[in-house]
Amino acid sequence: MSFRAGEGAGEENALSRNLRGLERGAKEPWSLPLLIVGCGPAGAAALDAALGLGVEGVLFDSRSDRGSPRPVSVRQGRLVVAEDGYSREVRARSVVLATGASKGREPQLAIAKALGCRSFYDRPLRYECLEIDTKGRTSIPGVFAAGDAARIGSESDAVESGRRAGEAAAAHIRESA
């Protein structure tokens, strides 16, 4: 799956700190079935759900300051990870964004918009939110998201939202095979 930069393509600048100072294009693109962005409870639940349906996934994080396996970012509408001092494009059949977004400041919205996903302004909450359905599907086929933490409430709700997004991503992969 490749992505074209959408209306939110300028959002990738907000993520550029993850890849600052790395060599570009020095490694071959990495192809994998499922990429999960977020190493927290929702990301872990998404991975568990996908594994339960026979789909392997790889966890990444959107913040380099968390000591995650690899920070992920978006460059020119494509997902890129930091690996061994280089930036490397990631090609995934499905992507789950599970970064625990809150008040539009977390990377989930920035990554989703850079990939071309639709968002909306939530007036009661007073910030921009990613547009997702109850199964975590976004406006881009193959891109799924756990719900916004401020909108769904507790950690157990975030875990359930991650599980639904992981199941939907796994079903998308199996259907497209």
Residue ranges of alpha helices (H) inside the chain are 41-52, 107-114, 149-152, 155-176
pLDDT digits over 41-50, tens only? 889 999 999 9
- CATH, domain 9-176, list 1.10.1530.10, 3.50.50.60, 1.10.240.10, 3.40.50.970: 3.50.50.60
Specify the 3-state DSSP secondary structure of 98: coil
Distance CA(113)–CA(153), nearest Å, equals 23
pLDDT recorded at residue 174: 93
pLDDT recorded at residue 16: 52
Q: Does pLDDT of 21 surpass 70?
A: no
Distance CA(163)–CA(168), nearest Å, equals 9
**Is residue 51 a contact partner of residue 171, using CB atoms and an 8 Å limit?**
no
Q: Does pLDDT of 75 surpass 50?
A: yes
Q: Does pLDDT of 14 surpass 60?
A: no
Amino acid symbol at 94: S
pLDDT recorded at residue 3: 41
Between the ranges 31-35, 97-101, 105-109, 145-149, where is the mean pLDDT highest?
31-35
Per the listing, tokens 């001092």 go with 85
pLDDT digits over 114-169, tens only? 888 898 888 887 778 888 898 999 999 999 998 765 555 677 888 899 999 999 99
151-159: which pairs have CB atoms within 8 A and are 24 or more residues apart?
A: 151/122, 151/125, 155/41, 158/40, 158/41, 158/42, 158/45, 158/100, 159/41, 159/42, 159/44, 159/45
pLDDT recorded at residue 18: 52
56: number of Cβ within 10 Å: 12
List for the chain the helix, strand, coil content (%; round to 5): 35, 30, 40
pLDDT recorded at residue 4: 41
pLDDT recorded at residue 144: 94
pLDDT recorded at residue 69: 54
pLDDT recorded at residue 138: 93
Confidence label for 30 from pLDDT (cuts 50, 70 and 90): confident
pLDDT recorded at residue 106: 60
**pTM listed for this prediction:** 0.79
Mean pLDDT in residue range 81-86? 73
